[in-house]
């Protein structure tokens, strides 16, 4: 059975950041895993290059639009090549074959009656490339998602009958509960669809940078709108609209996206596919966002993490391991050098690297580097059974995209190996003339390292190839079948010495992110003593201005499982990236009632973890004997508006 794995195509309005790297790492890891198992697997990534925002960015830099798109797209492709990402195709929406495929799809939908022409008038946000009804705008003008000013656009447009597929989508979600992973993300999509779908504008006439209409429609003034164009890349990459050469890989097994674009992939995309009479992907996997040292990343703060910078400092495979181990898939993660260094030193250097070094040293001393598995089963059946049990658990974790659990389970093998060395003490056995027992323990650890390196290879392919070379075997489907599935042991071999795989890191290797600064400077006026008692808790005006209070809008809200008090909110403060706020208001507000409502937020509060979730602010509220109510602006205000 073939597999098809995709990342979203990355928008060429800036170079790759750590979030792009995470999406690509997890897709690459799953691809390598499936290929290791012998599955015929196709991996797609690429760039999204059309739309008004790209056209305007190119004009800003004084460059032809195609030249601008070429330059930014190349930064993504070059980075993935440097990181040795194993993609089979890097697609660009400016590719001629892609454009032909989009035009064919448009013709099929139009002939089916799913696309019609009409006029559209509404508030349009260029940054979000989305129309918004006036009821959703802030102050009747500003975008509810990014806070930027919208403009009223009235133009002729072709519309896709999204509303036609409302019932079919809801049925698909019900019949396929794992269509959206993690499952906790499905409710927001289902509720959105249940709220009613409006037909979708899929062409524009106010700019020209996009896919032209099919010649059969003879309507040159229209270009296809971003989402119809962009989403089709997943099938045009396989030859749809040209030769269908690789359409055998469709439907996709797993399509990875960030949670901010889940709605487009879980609603628009399956509706388009239904219209084209094509099967739907098996899974849409939506991952969370990354912060840095507990803070949202932004260019203005100067704390955006460059994946190239981290890889240059710590090694790309260490970065891969950290990101896939650090956070459960679907939840937000935090990048900090200290956390990265801790995992390198503790898990990679101590647990794995030292284990390899120890058996190289012992085998050299006891058997002239020769290792024979002949007596392993005789002396170490208990350890072999524990290892096989851990190995048998791995596939479920990978199939459910839980790479953190996959690696956690895999690390049990290294714990078994390290414990065996301490428990059986080969150096003592050698002194007691129990050579067979000592060498059996060394061979046990060699087999643990071999089997573990096979299963670690999708995450750290270069590092595990070094381990495999030291153990005189090759990581491929054959060794996977023999050593993992069939539970065989290594044949007689000579181990090779290798330099330390993971040198310890004693201090941060990158410049630390700048510390968060309050919005207003501290009051530097001379201190004035007062006779009032300390119990009055009076503060200086400067202390008050150290607190940053801002107006925000709740864009996502969900209950925290197993908690009677907590709701998890995504709040837009006009920073370009939403903040996660965990608030103890569940007894007084349901999650749905907070969507698209404004709140007042303490914006420079030190992030804290509540039930394992990072909270990056606090809502202002008043509580008395009648209950609790949130403090809100009297009239809607632009997101990010300071309070004071």
Binding residues for Zn(2+): 125, 128, 143, 146
Decide if 101 contacts 240 (C-beta within 8 A).
yes
b or e along 188-214 (b: 16 or more beta carbons within 10 Å of the residue's beta carbon)? Answer: bbbeebeeebebbbbbbeebebbbbbb
Maximum CA extent, the chain: 91
SS3 280: coil
How far apart are alpha carbons 25 and 487 in whole angstroms?
29
- How far CA 86 is from CA of 222, 446, 464, in Å, comes to 37, 28, 16
How far apart are alpha carbons 160 and 117 in whole angstroms?
9
Q: For the chain, how far is it from start to end, CA to CA, in angstroms?
A: 61
Among 78, 71, 67, smallest CA distance to 14 is for 71
SS3 415: helix
The residue written with tokens 């290791």 in the block is 36
Q: What is the 3-state secondary structure (H, E, C) of 551-601?
A: EEEEEEEEECCCCCCCEEEEEECCCCCCEEEEECCCCCCCHHHHCCCEEEE
| Cβ partners under 8 Å of residue 177, min gap 6 | 183, 186
Residue positions forming the annotated binding site: 125, 128, 143, 146
The residue written with tokens 């006026």 in the block is 525
Beta bridge partners of 556: 570
Decide if 211 contacts 231 (C-beta within 8 A).
no
- How far CA 468 is from CA of 6, 324, 481, in Å, comes to 29, 22, 15
Q: Which helix (H) or strand (E) holds 263?
A: helix 262-263
Q: How many CB atoms lie within 10 A of CB 370?
A: 15
The residue written with tokens 């698909």 in the block is 172
Among 146, 115, 121, 148, smallest CA distance to 134 is for 121
E strand residue ranges, 338-396: 370-371
Beta bridge partners of 403: none
Q: What are phi and psi of 634, to 5 degrees?
A: -65, -40
How far apart are alpha carbons 342 and 141 in whole angstroms?
47
Q: Is the dihedral of CA 612, 618, 620, 623 positive or negative?
A: positive
Among 368, 407, 405, 414, smallest CA distance to 387 is for 414
Round the CA-based radius of gyration of the chain to a whole number and report it: 28
């Amino acid at each position: 059975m073939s597999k098809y794995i995709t990342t979203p195509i990355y928008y060429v309005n800036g170079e790759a950041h750590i979030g792009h790297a995470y999406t690509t790492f997890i897709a690459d890891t799953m691809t390598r895993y499936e290929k290791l198992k012998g599955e015929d697997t196709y991996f797609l990534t690429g760039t999204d290059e059309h739309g008004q925002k790209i056209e305007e960015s190119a004009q800003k830099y004084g460059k032809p639009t195609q030249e601008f798109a070429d330059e930014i797209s190349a930064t993504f492709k070059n980075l993935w090549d440097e990181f040795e990402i194993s993609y089979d195709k890097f697609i660009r929406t400016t590719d001629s074959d892609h454009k032909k495929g989009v035009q064919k799809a448009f013709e099929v939908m139009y002939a089916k009656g799913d696309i019609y022409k009409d006029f559209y008038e509404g508030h349009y946000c260029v940054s979000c490339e989305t129309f918004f009804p006036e009821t959703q705008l802030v102050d009747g003008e500003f975008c509810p998602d990014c806070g930027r000013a919208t403009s009223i656009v009235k133009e002729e447009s072709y519309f896709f009958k999204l509303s036609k597929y409302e019932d079919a989508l809801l049925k698909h979600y019900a019949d396929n509960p794992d269509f959206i992973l993690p499952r906790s993300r499905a409710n927001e999509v289902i509720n959105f669809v249940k709220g009613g779908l409006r037909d979708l504008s899929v062409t524009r006439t106010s700019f020209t940078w996009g896919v032209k209409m099919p010649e059969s429609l003879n309507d040159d003034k229209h270009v296809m709108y971003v989402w119809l164009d962009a989403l089709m890349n997943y099938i045009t990459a396989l030859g749809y609209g040209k030769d269908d050469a690789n359409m055998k890989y469709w439907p996709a097994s797993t399509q990875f996206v960030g949670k901010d674009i889940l709605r487009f992939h879980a609603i628009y995309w399956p509706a388009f596919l239904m219209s084209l009479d094509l099967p739907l992907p098996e899974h849409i996997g939506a991952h969370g966002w990354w912060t840095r040292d507990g803070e949202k990343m932004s260019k203005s703060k100067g704390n955006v993490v460059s994946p190239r910078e981290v890889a240059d400092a710590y090694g790309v495979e260490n970065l891969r391991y950290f990101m896939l181990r650090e956070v459960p898939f679907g939840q937000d993660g935090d990048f900090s050098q200290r956390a990265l260094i801790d995992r390198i030193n503790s898990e990679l250097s101590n647990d794995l690297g030292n284990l390899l070094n120890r058996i190289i040293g012992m085998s050299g001393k006891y058997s002239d580097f020769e290792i024979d598995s002949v007596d392993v089963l005789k002396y170490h059946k208990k350890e072999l059974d524990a290892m096989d049990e851990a190995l048998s658990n791995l596939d479920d974790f990978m199939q459910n995209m839980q790479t953190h659990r996959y690696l956690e389970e895999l690390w049990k093998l290294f714990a078994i190996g390290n414990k065996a060395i301490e428990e059986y003490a080969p150096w003592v056995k050698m002194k007691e003339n129990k050579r067979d027992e000592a060498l059996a323990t060394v061979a046990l650890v060699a087999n643990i390292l071999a089997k573990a390196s096979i299963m670690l290879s999708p995450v750290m392919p270069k590092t595990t190839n070094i381990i495999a070379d030291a153990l005189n075997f090759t990581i491929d489907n054959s060794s996977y079948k023999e050593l993992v599935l069939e539970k065989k042991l290594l044949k007689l071999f000579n181990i090779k010495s290798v330099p330390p795989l993971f040198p310890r890191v004693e201090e941060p290797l990158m410049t630390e992110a700048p510390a968060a600064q309050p919005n207003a400077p501290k009051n530097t006026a001379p201190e004035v003593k007062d006779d009032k008692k300390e119990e009055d808790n009076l503060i200086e005006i400067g202390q008050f201005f150290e607190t940053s209070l801002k107006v925000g809008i709740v864009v996502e809200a969900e209950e925290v499982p197993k908690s009677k008090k907590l709701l998890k909110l995504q709040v837009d403060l006009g920073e370009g990236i939403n903040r996660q706020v965990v608030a103890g208001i569940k007894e007084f507000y349901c999650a749905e009632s907070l969507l698209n409502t404004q709140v007042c937020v303490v914006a420079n509060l030190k992030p804290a973890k509540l039930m394992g979730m990072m909270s990056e602010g606090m809502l202002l509220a008043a509580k008395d004997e009648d209950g609790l109510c949130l403090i809100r602006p009297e009239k809607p205000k632009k997101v990010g508006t300071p309070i004071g």
